[in-house]
Structure 1
Amino acid sequence: MAAGAAALRDPGAGPAAEKRILCVGLVCLDIISVVEAYPAEDTDTRCLSQRWQRGGNASNSCTVLALLGAPCAFMGSLAPGHAAENLPDVTARDFARVDLDRYHWIHWEARNASEQVRMIQRVEEHNRALPPAQRIRTSVEVEKPREELLPLLAHGDVVFISKDLAKHFGYRSAPEALRGLRSRVQPGATLICAWAEEGADAMGPGGELVHADACPPETLVDTLGAGDTFNAAVIFALSGEPAGRAQLRLPHRGQEVRDPGLRRHRLSRTCGCHCPPPRSLAPLALLPIKFLGAPPLSLVPGPEERHAPTLPAPPQ
């Protein structure tokens, strides 16, 4: 497989295949060092342990959706090994090969915005031929405060914006950001902003504000992927509601950071769900990866294989 080939992790065709949630964006290798305490600037600190694990916003959200029991798939660029440079992002041409009939929700992590706008427009065109109940719902996460990503705010039924983006525009709270940026989203869209220890707020299609308090865990272990977990929880909750009648509910911000490595996520009663017992992080949906334009590779176990593949050990 050539470096940077677009990869789609999908269940494959079949008359009984359940429609899934597709996450499009980044998958990467996170190298995590564990230390006794947060190091002071310009000091040396002994590392207690180190681990390598799969990361990336869209990849993490797909992992959490799978842990919640949602049928899901991931699309992104994969390298042939555990390291690569300058991998290309998924293009509209890659996305044109996706069978949209297999999905009921597609989520984009904002990256190459001009290409992603074209992907969303393809979904919108696909939806025009369908009754409202059968249309694919879309969501977009705009995290980085980069000018070229801002056009994506105008696309998606659900738009997630980050605290960093809100502060970039000069807003000092999530409600203030939602009121100020509402004009940038399409009519009928839901706009959501999480604000760390302040919780999270959302503005529904009618302009109604919904707030969820933060619920800090007794012991903060690992915040890596907390925002990705929050996004997945919202998508999971809203995707279970009929299109056009979804009730806007938010999981309590902060309940995603009890355990390291996305191995366990305990969501709030607001979301109405609890994840299954912890299992391996590596599988997204316990289904084979298929590479667009390349033969299938057995990197991830199928439904009958419950053990997870391992990443190569860090160099000594």
Structure 2
Amino acid sequence: MSLIAVGACYVDTILTTPHYPGEDDKLRATSISRRRGGNCPNSLEVLQQLVAETPANLQFPLNLVAILPARSSVASQQIRTAFEPHVSLDHCLYREEFEEPASSYIMKSQASGSRTIVNYNELPEMTLEEFGRIVDGLKGPAAWFHFEGRIPDVTLSCIRHLRNRFPDTKVSVEVEKPGREGLQELVEEADVVFYSKTWAQHNGYNSANECVQKQLSLTRKASLLCCTWGQDGAAALETSTRNLVHSPAYCPAGFQVVDTIGAGDTFIAGMLYGLICKKKGWDLSQKLSMANHLAGTKVAQEGFAGLGRVLREYCTT
């Protein structure tokens, strides 16, 4: 089975500062870094490391569907270099009239460990017709599609088209941004749902357990509901058996919050790996624990490098 992740691909500029500046303040950053970002690309970056640690008979192809600027642009060349050959960009859509990628400007506070993000994106979003051409051209083994809940109305149409074309395809969706209309409708069409803490709190839930338990009555097709809750860990609910599992957050020895950017994306990568590669080898508790190990390790380091080691460590304990 192959994985096709559908979402925005950003180029992130990250400024680390001692604290957040006040309005009209001037503050010197302690460091600056630039890297490829975006929810689905972040998850794929972690997944390619996990796949590299996996026996050949359990590996699965990774693919990204994203809107990128012109093929010849510096940004698109950098993004391809960062991913290929381990993640295929064959299904990406290039906007040849644009040179600038979708961009995020991120300020990380050393005092609080939190980050503030400002996005800029002038690239026209993917249409249903464009997605339909991608789906209609697919060949090979069955695919698992993972969608960032980005443009809910278009994403909903894409999922329905996918269901009509390939009824047995597995679909997972990420429900992250609070107040974004249409996300609940996506939940009703998905096999697996990943809820963020911010979305859950915005909708009146006080814990990860409460979120998945109350969302159970609002889902029609989902077999698994997952919700992350930062330092309070994560919960997962199998809808057919109502088996609810809670896993505490993982804190490595000497734990300190270093970089929270992409922690949720890392958790999703861990769960997708467990669901696709270890669907019969690990029970739900093991899948959830592994995803938390990944996310906790990621928060304690800068960036995503070396996270494949978590799988080795987890499988030998």
- The verdict on a shared fold, with TM-score over 0.5 as the criterion, is yes
Q: For 1:149-200, what per-residue CA distance to the aligned partner results, in whole angstroms no more than 9, with x for missing partners?
A: 3211112111001111111111111111111111222244211000000000
SS of residue in 2 equivalent to 1:50:
strand
Deviations 1:45-97 (A, max 9, x none): 32222111110101111111111115201011112344354222222211112
Decide whether aligned partners of structure 1 residues 110 and 273 sit closer, same or farther in structure 2, where only a CA change above 3 A counts. farther
Quick check: 1:224 aligned with 2:261? Answer: yes
Q: Does 1:55 align with 2:37?
A: yes
Unaligned runs of 5+ in 2: 52-59, 76-99, 102-120
Question: Paired residue for 1:67?
Answer: 49
What is the percent sequence identity of the aligned residues? 33
**Cα distance, 1:107 vs structure 2:** 0.2
2:19 equivalent among 31, 34, 38: 38
Distance 2:202 2:157 in 1: 26
Q: Does 1:255 align with 2:294?
A: no
- The aligned residue for residue 114 of structure 1 is 153
One-letter amino acid matched to 1:125: N
- Structure 2 residue 206 is matched with structure 1 residue 172: yes
Whole-angstrom CA distance in 2 between matches of 1:174 and 1:269: 28
**TM-score, normalised relative to structure 2:** 0.71
Cross-structure match for 2:84: none
Which structure has greater strand proportion? 2
Q: Post-superposition shift, 1:242?
A: 5.4
Amino acid in structure 2 at the alignment position of 1:71 = P
Q: Which shows bigger deviation, 78-87 or 213-222?
A: 78-87
For residues 269 and 174 of structure 1, do their structure 2 counterparts lie closer, same or farther at Cα, with a shift above 3 Å needed? farther
In the TM superposition, 1:83-102 aligns within 5 A as 83-84=100-101, 85-98=121-134, 99-102=137-140
1:159 paired residue number: 193
- The answer to which structure has the higher helix fraction is 2
Compute the displacement of 1:268 (Å): 6.5
Pair 219,52 (structure 1): closer, same or farther in 2 beyond 3 Å: same
Say whether 1:210 aligns with 2:245. yes
1:298 corresponds to: none
Asked whether the 8 Å contact 2:50–2:311 carries over to 1, the reply is no
1:239 aligns to 2:276 (yes or no): yes
CA distance in 1 between partners of 2:313 and 2:283 (Å): 11
Quick one: distance in 2 between partners of 1:24 and 1:271? 28
Other-structure match for 1:139 = 172
| Structure 2 residue identity aligned to 1:50 | I
SS at structure 2 position matched to 1:96:
helix
| Gap runs ≥5 in structure 1 | 1-18, 129-134, 275-316
Structure-2 change in CA distance of 1:71 and 1:107 (3 Å): same
| Aligned residue type for 1:49 | S
Shift in CA distance, 122/101, structure 1 to aligned 2, threshold 3 Å: farther
Change (3 A) 1:267 1:194: farther
Deviation at 1:123, TM superposition (A): 2.5
Correspondence for 2:162: 123
1:178-232 Cα shifts (integer Å, max 9, x gaps): 1111122224421100000000001112221111110124232211111001001
- The CA deviation at 1:38 is 3.0
